[in-house]
Amino acid sequence: MLNHFGHQHWWPINEQYHEIHGSDPRFEIIIGAILTQNTAWSNVEKALERLREHHALTAESIAHLTLRTLKNLIQPSGFFNQKAQRLKTISSHLLQEYQANLTFFFSRDAPTIRRELLDLNGIGPETADSILLYAGDKPAFVIDAYTRRISRRLPLTASTESYDELQGFFVETLQKRYPKDQLVPVYQELHALMVELAKNYCRATPRCDQCPLTRSCKKVL
DNA sequence: ACCCAGGCGCATG
DNA sequence: CATGCGCATGGG
């Protein structure tokens, strides 16, 4: 997939990104992970841009905005009533418990942070793992609708697997193949590549959970 | 006029 | 416990 699609460079965390956007990319990733819940990324970009224009890409600002203003800002990303509340919840949590210091927040092991995130209303397993992997550089493999679709149609696992079971399959397989210090970049790249693969060759159609992958899709694999 | 998108929480049986 | 449903927008 890497040969076919090239690097996906999702959420690059580097100095350059920080300079250009003037906000902590880790916080943007946290916000983006919530805004993209069952939503096209193009819509999330519109919402992020509006937040950036209003200097509302920090935990402090979001925690202090009125709910009404926040809903208006993120309106293009859909589900804005629930998502505005969810952004408030995570921002207030980071502010009150960690003084909005993300280095402090991420300075613990992944399972601890994961449990803490799952306790917040509006953060489920995928959102938690996306935050851990792409904002925290923590080894948390992300399972999403695309990953699940490909896994079912190959098939890689039984079709009744839970989130944790499917994640376990990927983690065990990858841990055997890569040294520990390579897992984070491998998780980041592989997840992004599977999304790209599914977008190109494995789009959702009604009652298509068992339909075979196309030949061109298998060729890439 | 449809269908789809990088889920989640809550209400039912 | 496990499905089902509502949430809302913009692009194909």
pLDDT surpassing 70 at residue A10 = yes
Is the pLDDT score of A15 beyond 90?
no
User: Is residue A5 predicted with pLDDT exceeding 80?
Assistant: yes
State whether A68 and A113 are in the same domain: yes
Could you check: is the Cβ of residue A207 within 7 Å of any atom of nucleic acid strand B?
no
Distance A179 CA to C7 C1' (A): 42
| pTM for the structure as a whole | 0.96
A211 touches strand B (CB under 7 A): no
Residue A12 lies in a domain: yes
Residues written for chain A: 221
Range of the domain at A35: 2-135
Q: For strand B, which nucleotides have at least one atom less than 7 Å from a protein CB?
A: 3-10
The per-residue pLDDT for range A162-210, each reduced to its tens digit, is 999 999 999 999 999 999 999 999 999 999 999 999 998 887 775 566 6
A159 in any annotated domain: yes
Does at least one atom of strand B sit less than 7 Å from the CB of A80?
A: no
Number of domains observed in the structure of chain A: 2
Q: In the numeric block, which tokens belong to residue A22?
A: 């003037």
A12: confidence class by pLDDT, cuts 50, 70, 90 = low
Specify whether A75 is located in the same domain as A117.
Answer: yes
Is residue A169 within 8 Å of residue A152, measured between CB atoms? no
Q: What pLDDT does residue A221 have?
A: 82
Per residue in A76-103, pLDDT tens?
999 999 999 999 999 999 999 999 999 9
A46 touches strand C (CB under 7 A): yes
Same domain, A211 and A173: yes
Kindly state whether residue A140 falls inside one of the protein's structural domains.
no
Do A195 and A110 reside in the same domain of the chain?
no
Query: How many beta carbons lie within 10 A of that of residue A24, not counting itself?
Result: 20
Nucleic chain C contacts, protein chain A, residues 152-211, CB cut-off 7 A: 160
Q: Is the CB of A38 under 7 A from strand C?
A: yes
A201 touches strand B (CB under 7 A): no
pLDDT grade for A219, boundaries at 50, 70 and 90? confident
Residue A19 has pLDDT above 80, yes or no: no
Do residues A113 and A150 both lie within one domain?
no
Same domain, A106 and A31: yes
Strand B closer than 7 A to residue A199 Cβ: yes
DSSP code at position A65: S
